[in-house]
Structure 1
Amino acid sequence: MLTYGKRWTESDYVFITDRGANPVSVKSVCEPIERIIKKSRIKRITPHGLRHTHATILISKGVPLPTVADRLGNTPEMILRIYGHTLKKLEVESVKIFNDALNF
Structure 2
Amino acid sequence: MIEQGKPRYMTRAINEELNIKMQAFLWELLDLIALKRKDKMDYLQVFEIVNIGNKIKVINYQEQPTIKEELIIELGRMNIKDTTVWIIDEPDKQTMLFPSDY
TM-score (norm. length: structure 1): 0.23
The structure with the largest helix share of the pair is 1
Larger Rg belongs to: 1
Higher relative contact order, chain-length normalized (CA < 8 Å, sep 6+): 2
The structure with the largest strand share of the pair is 2
TM-score (norm. length: structure 2): 0.23
